[in-house]
Copies of this chain bind each other. A is one copy, B any other.
């Protein structure tokens, strides 16, 4: 097995530039941008590319798919959970803070081919001591609960004492830079150390008591002989922060390695009582298997994905890499095994749009998955199917029938769009999308059909898809308004797909897709009746669909007004 280290592979990596996103200069002001670009995710969780040593100008984030909470926020939002990235380095007792040192050398590289974030930095502190730190981190695609950080620390021009502080930071907030919205979603349940070393921090969401347990174990050893060199170790539960501290002697130009093995389990995965023991077991297994072992399995998965997903654009290197960057983050954001989560507008990469799922998922992201990763595409649609009951409740709440999907969707399927926002002057602004951007409901029906069209997955349609198309069709029938003077059905007071013009009547996109939705429902009923009569019987009984109702749909369809049909604007 090859040792996968930055040192050994840097040249090989750099020679393959089309797979790399690099940052070769440190600029505090760009920290948050690079944090987003350098986010790693494995579908289960996502960790923003903040620095191990921290900086005031960053917005670290660690998000677990499906973990939402409201507390004092406007709506339920994807929770920024405890962060395990922190590793502080102290040279002869003084914190090695890049913001207070001379930076002699700096690089970060996102290796998209393997899903690894590399870094290197050489710092000169105000005593003239030069320390070189390099390493990498990854969130395993093989065991989605695992993540690791490896650092190589070299005292370039001194011998002395280095200390390391490893933390899990549970003091995190959402919207931490916005005092009008910042929200604490977690309470600390347990802050302790494992019997044989390492830290454990368990938190709970404040509304639902969803538990999140994060643990780590750290090995520190000399590169040349692999010997453990820690001479002093201390655990301290610092309130919301779990911290383990290690001191060791270093020799000029001799490299020391720090391996941080991290595992995360939540009460979405196992029962509350088992979280800690699962984390502890996994952390220790991980530590005994070693980072390289997990990393190779992780790389294998990315290689398989890229074998299908890679797209080359010849003659335009920038577009070629930009497309690969998008594909990388899409592939990193999906968890094909979890039918209770989808991909948010900002994926697991940040707090923008509060981790909510919009029409973007079905219209912009799903086609990628349908063609390169259909199992994941099905998972994304299953998220909507699992929230079909909530969509039914949503329709009832708004005075309609069938199923109306929320404009912004989190874990419950309730409408999560805030009704009010604030402009930059702090004046309230009414947000209408949750009330009237109805087209999301047809978008989802359309996505179901797109998936079927490409995959011929009739089992999915029989079990889930057709029910969604029927119930969304039923919504549209109830949403249409009959204009008797023009003898047509209209859909008034909506927001169309441009998302900015509010209170529009008879938006082409909306009306067209509504009609399409009802039409497809009727077509599938015909197929069911013909080829799957027992399914039809079961389903029509389950959703109380009668021949009369279907006849009514058939009557309405030709009378739904589609502006461009007549005006030929398109």
Contact = CB atoms under 8 A, between A and B. Distances in A.
A239 B238 contact: no
A186 B240 CA distance: 11
Interface string A237-280: 11110010101000000000000000000000000000000000
A237 B184 contact: yes
Contacts of A88: 179
B95 A177 contact: yes
A424 B93 contact: yes
Interface in A74-123: 88, 90, 92-93, 95
A173 interface: yes
Among A56, A72, A93, A170, the one with the most B-chain Cβ atoms within 10 Å of its Cβ is A93
B238 A180 contact: no
A339 interface: no
Contact of A232 (B90, B173, B239, B426): B426
A92 B424 contact: yes
A77 B165 CA distance: 22
Contact of A186 (B173, B178, B239, B425): B239
A161 B236 CA distance: 42
Given A171-B171, A236-B72, A238-B173, A425 B161 contact: yes
Nearest to A93: B424
A481 B236 CA distance: 44
Interface in A155-188: 160-161, 163, 165, 170-171, 173, 177-180, 182-184, 186-188
Contact of A426 (B56, B72, B231, B243): B231
A234 interface: yes
A525 B441 CA distance: 97
Contact of A247 (B237, B247, B426): B426
Given A92-B424, A425-B161, A426-B232, A180 B245 contact: yes
Contacts of A182: 236, 238, 243
A238 B184 contact: yes
A104 to B, nearest CB: 22
A87 to B, nearest CB: 11
A163 B177 contact: no
Interface string A178-218: 11101110111000000000000000000000000000000
20 contacts: A56-B56, A88-B179, A92-B424, A93-B178, A95-B177, A95-B179, A161-B425, A163-B426, A165-B179, A170-B239, A171-B171, A171-B240, A173-B239, A179-B245, A180-B245, A182-B236, A184-B237, A184-B239, A231-B426, A247-B426
